[in-house]
Amino acid sequence: MQRTPLIAANWKMNGSAALVEEMTSALAGVATEQIQVLICPPATLLCRFTAPINFALGGQTLSHEVSGAFTGELSAALLIEAGASYVIVGHSERRSLNAESDQLIAAKLMRAVVSGLTPVLCVGETLQQRQQEKTQQVIARQLDAVYASQPELLAKSVIAYEPVWAIGTGESATPEQAQQTHAFIRQHLAQYDAKAAEKVKLLYGGSVNADNCAALFKQADIDGALVGGASLKAAEFAQICSSA
């Protein structure tokens, strides 16, 4: 099965109007006929991307509520109005720093899909969980929380495997480690919907850079990357996109 690669940037609480300009020019030189590119900047920068751009835009989180008295929150509709068509859901930093539970993440993902945003669901184990050989158990729990009761959402999702120990540490999973977990994820998802599991894009995230991306992209079940630190350097991110 041929899945179009997706390379996504998560700027987190970084970036600037100047980086918007720089990234737009750097990506203009990337052939995006064969790959998809997604930039998830801070929400305040979404409107700074002005046409023509050859990539999609996304939010980094959203509220599970539709609208109302939720100071500081962002709804799916607001993100869409600002230009987003994707949204990251369940990033490990939101899970740990904002205490987002599996249940809340499931509600957010459903809100995203119902509103017309494509969610990029992040799953992954901590170092301690890996050392205790609980990687598959943790990821199965994170996936089940979303798809066991709402299997129809799978066909509308992108999933990012992001081992927590590899995020921002400079220590990427090896291509073999990543492939092993991606294969497990695809196999686990098949129990909800075998056809959707075959089609769903599985991104790898965790210290991806211009030097290690090509080996990761060669793996059968790795369909692209979610890139943090290296997505703040326009030339390097463009190079990662061109390697996919």
Q: Is 207 in the site for ligand PEP (CB under 6 A)?
A: yes
229 annotated among ligand-binding-site residues:
yes
Q: Is 125 in the site for ligand PEP (CB under 6 A)?
A: no
**Does the annotation mark 162 as catalytic?**
yes
Q: Is 206 in the site for ligand PEP (CB under 6 A)?
A: yes
* Residue located via tokens 């073999």: 176
Q: On the CB side of 243, how many CA atoms lie within 13 Å of its CA?
A: 20
Q: Is 179 in the site for ligand PEP (CB under 6 A)?
A: no
172 annotated among ligand-binding-site residues:
no
| Cβ-contact 228, 12 below 8 angstroms | yes
| Cβ-contact 111, 62 below 8 angstroms | yes
What's the closest the beta carbon of residue 151 comes to ligand PEP, in angstroms? 26
- Give the separation between CA 64 and CA 211, rounded to whole angstroms: 37
Q: What secondary structure letter does DSSP report for 1?
A: -
What's the closest the beta carbon of residue 231 comes to ligand PEP, in angstroms? 7
Q: How many residues bind ligand PEP (CB under 6 A)?
A: 13
Sign of the alpha-carbon dihedral angle for 201, 228, 179, 37: positive
Q: Is 229 in the site for ligand PEP (CB under 6 A)?
A: yes
- Residues annotated as catalytic are 91, 162
- Which residue numbers belong to the known binding site for substrate? 10-12, 168, 207, 228-229
